[in-house]
Structure 1
Amino acid sequence: MNVQEILTNLETKHPGEKEYLQAVHEVLESIETIYNENPQYESAKIIERLVEPDRILTFRVSWVDDEGNVQVNLGHRVQFNNAIGPYKGGIRLHPSVNLSILKFLGFEQIFKNALTTLPMGGGKGGSDFNPKGKSDAEIMRFCQAFMLELWRIIGPSTDVPAGDIGTGGREIGFMYGMYKKLQHENAGVLTGKGLNWGGSLIRPEATGYGATYFTNEMLKTQNDSFEGKTVCLSGFGNVTWGVALKVTELGGKVITISGPDGYVYDEKGLDEEKIDYLLALRASNNDIVSPYIEEFPEAKFIPGKKPWEVPCDIAMPSAIQNELNGDDAKQLVFNGVKYVIEVSNMGCTPDAIDIILKNKLPFAPGKAANAGGVGVSGLEMSQNAMKLNWTKDEVDAKLHQIMSSIHIACEKYGTEDDGYVNYVKGANIAGFIKVADAMLDQGIV
């Protein structure tokens, strides 16, 4: 495999899709050696087949706002690879949504889902619709119009979408209601459903919980723990909330959260009341985090900056892709950070990752650390298929097992000669081998 040649060809075919090309580049660099040691992959053109989606559906979404005006958005569904199970991945509703972002997310989802050990393929979808400031009625009309196009290509054994940025329980409910009406069946085709109609316990917390469990496994390999550690988080939505809950429970102290307007530094750390306030702040339909200091005046708000300038033991970017860059990584290293964990998908830029790895800091890529969300979505699929509900403790125990298994796989394939665990390499190789071998078994299709 010639990585540069493949990337050049992709750039020619997909110009300007920087997020997608970045995601492909990271994976190809990690798996190059093992790929070239297995000629069966080359003869079956596994890479050439893996980097292109099986199909992409792009469609117009027309809906009517509360003033009677017709609004038009674009919708997409990227079905990337289903070698080990139905396509699985969230629906993102955000003005920034484009095909490059959805293809990067769908490509990452292939390996993330493979790492969970559950039978799920990779996919992603979304729209440039912005739910912020919209009424419930407007969101319902948009979601119904969106599903009018999407329902033809999804199903419990075909493609199972989930929530993502901008798509919570309300949006999933509206989409599922329309799917059920169109399909004339009550099947678990969407995950993230309400608890009283097929949802799973701890699903809202799952991404944050899972990332914390994975980090805890990393800490154990260093004979370390969360006890007494300072933790910098970004974002203030469900993911950050879940991480803050579990980190605090394990004895760590969360000292930052952030939004697009800047970050909050709370030297005392988040407690139960403050963590609960994160949900109330997010539920207020407001993108900004600055109101936090009105509620808790002992904290400081630093406008227009990111939290990575604050000295901490553990940095966990939890908001959006490429939120931690090379300069941020240099600052973290200078301040003595001990661990960096991507909780957001591709939360660090390539130059940031290079700096972290060169300094031999334990670093967890998002496809490993944040797999708890899709892991519990897979458990929701299982519960729906069996027509039963597991208790919170049962789901949490299975989530623990999933994250522990992912850590074991990363160690297996990522441990270098000097004992350092390159979790990026380990996660990519472990996920790739599972998917590639399944593709070989199933022939050229």
Structure 2
Amino acid sequence: MEAKQYVEKVLSKINRTNPGEKEFIDATKEVLISLIPVLEKHPEFIKASLLERIVEPERQIIFRVPWINDDGEIEVNRGFRVQFNNAIGPYKGGLRFHPSVNLSIIKFLGFEQIFKNSLTGLPIGGAKGGSDFNPKGKSDNEIMRFCQSFMAELYKYIGGNMDVPAGDIGVGGREIGYLYGYYKKLKSLSEQGVLTGKGLTFGGSLARTEATGYGLVYFAEEMLNDNDMSFKGKTVVISGSGNVAIYATQKAQELGAKVVALSDSNGYIYDENGIDINVIKEIKEVRRGRIKEYLDVVPNSKYQEGCNKIWEIKCDIALPCATQGEINKQSAEILVTNRVKVVAEGANMPSTLEAIEVFQNNNVLFGPAKAANAGGVACSALEMSQNSLRLSWTFEEVDKKLKEIMKNIYNNTKKSAEEYGQPGNILMGANIAGFMKVAKAMMSQGLV
């Protein structure tokens, strides 16, 4: 069977067997089409039905999460863990607590995680999990009760050599602490390597909080340097205001850029003089407030309800760090009209397939999420290493390793794109480089 025909056959089956799962279907389509040149060169992958196997999760767990709110009322949410592929190491991927969470989103994230984790060069497989629970507005006690109920089922399926969850949207240090505490109680043992993103007093890693944002900027910096540019003097727009956005802002500013916009789920702020990141940290990390509170401290800044128009702000570099699908075709066209030079994804698949096509057709340097935001999971794997060795590295040691990993990811994706006749197509290069390591491991291990 020819490679293109084989891919079309697999995509047809995915559409048929995963009805209504748009996010998952889009993610598989984007990856599989880019693998056609690989399959032409490696017909043994077709014979082994490798694509059918890699798009099917090894295990999907869906469970009920009952908990009691502060008014004494019983609430019920749905929990998920999709263990997608462990060919190169234990399952690894974050937990997301957000009302939008459903099976399609968790599967799309878990599928992307396979290749992202592979690109780090570290021995970790792909998984993802979470719940449609909304932590916003909940008390610490409500968060704790929910996390304990969630872990009461999840603990059966995770472990340091089996599956190692971490944080994602809605799951930060507070949630990881509650989850780990209850895991210890249920298992009656101290197994620090079972979760990453832990507090520094119980096995966490320095630089983990900063890792995804820093890694994103390190990756974008490699793209810029490779094209005789840098962050210095550039105007940057960043969506989101969580860990990724905050520390991408901080690192971009350190490299001489001016970040003029940040957002949250309600709207975005614009500060033509450059965002004061210390004010944002106080609002978001200390007070857990809303982005519009920035105006109370910096009155000359502006606030806009709604998030879509943030991409109408003129910028040289766009770093979407909020959520999937936030840049559509129209937003991409506006960015191109405003002469954006680089788009690097800090969130998971924040650009739609149509938006990516616009960037590529207009020679915008595009860094896909699976490569550009791999710094977080890379640092999580470094946390696992420190837990195994029973020691802690300094911030500088971890940051140096992180920067080297992001540099290697860029070089490997660039090399793979060139090898398969698509020089400069970092998206295709990332898909191929991530796939090849997993594919070779699966072929070596037989039909499992």
Which range, TM-score by smaller chain? over 0.9
Partner of 1:33: 37
Partner of 1:147: 151
Q: Does 1:257 align with 2:259?
A: no
Q: CA deviation at 1:413?
A: 1.0
Partner of 1:295: 297
Alignment of 1:210-289 (within 5 A): 210-270=215-275, 274-283=276-285, 284-286=287-289, 288-289=290-291
State the distance in 1 between where 2:177 and 2:76 align. Answer: 22
**Secondary structure, in 3 states, of the residue corresponding to 2:194?**
coil
Contact 2:422 2:428 in 1 (8 A): no
List structure 1 runs of 4+ shifted beyond 6 angstroms.
416-419
Q: CA deviation at 1:417?
A: 9.2
Q: Which of residues 111, 125, 128 is equivalent to 1:124?
A: 128
Q: Which of residues 74, 77, 89 is equivalent to 1:70?
A: 74
State the distance in 2 between where 1:440 and 1:246 align. Answer: 40
Q: Which of residues 152, 156, 162 is equivalent to 1:158?
A: 162
**Secondary structure, in 3 states, of the residue corresponding to 1:106?**
helix
Q: Which of residues 391, 401, 424 is equivalent to 2:404?
A: 401
Q: CA deviation at 1:294?
A: 1.9
Q: Which of residues 16, 21, 24 is equivalent to 1:20?
A: 24
Q: Which of residues 363, 366, 371 is equivalent to 2:369?
A: 366
State the distance in 2 between where 1:416 and 1:78 align. Answer: 33
Deviations 1:32-73 (A, max 9, x none): 111122011111111000001000111101111111111111
Q: Which of residues 172, 190, 200 is equivalent to 1:195?
A: 200
Contact 2:38 2:420 in 1 (8 A): no
Partner of 1:45: 49
State the distance in 2 between where 1:123 and 1:360 align. Answer: 33
Deviations 1:94-124 (A, max 9, x none): 1110000000000000000000000000000
Deviations 1:318-373 (A, max 9, x none): 10001001111111111111111111110100111001001111100000000000
Partner of 2:359: 356
Return the letter of the residue paired with 1:384: N
Given the two structures, how large is their TM-score scaled by the length of structure 1? 0.97
Number of residues of Structure 1 aligned to a counterpart in Structure 2: 441
Question: What stretches of structure 2 of length at least 5 have no aligned partner?
Answer: none
Q: Does 1:182 align with 2:186?
A: yes
Q: CA deviation at 1:28?
A: 0.5
Contact 1:84 1:438 in 2 (8 A): yes
Q: CA deviation at 1:313?
A: 0.5
**Secondary structure, in 3 states, of the residue corresponding to 1:306?**
helix
State the distance in 2 between where 1:254 and 1:175 align. Answer: 35
Distance 1:417 1:360, change over 3 A: farther
State the distance in 2 between where 1:132 and 1:351 align. Answer: 32
Contact 1:36 1:42 in 2 (8 A): no
State the distance in 1 between where 2:421 and 2:58 align. Answer: 40
Contact 1:238 1:279 in 2 (8 A): no
Given the two structures, how large is their TM-score scaled by the length of structure 2? 0.96
State the distance in 2 between where 1:340 and 1:405 align. Answer: 19
Q: CA deviation at 1:285?
A: 3.6
Return the letter of the residue paired with 2:99: P
Q: CA deviation at 1:280?
A: 2.5
Partner of 1:137: 141
Q: CA deviation at 1:420?
A: 4.5
Question: What stretches of structure 1 of length at least 5 have no aligned partner?
Answer: none
**Secondary structure, in 3 states, of the residue corresponding to 1:53?**
coil
Q: CA deviation at 1:225?
A: 0.9
State the distance in 2 between where 1:205 and 1:277 align. Answer: 17
Deviations 1:294-329 (A, max 9, x none): 221111112234311011110111100010011111
State the distance in 2 between where 1:415 and 1:228 align. Answer: 30
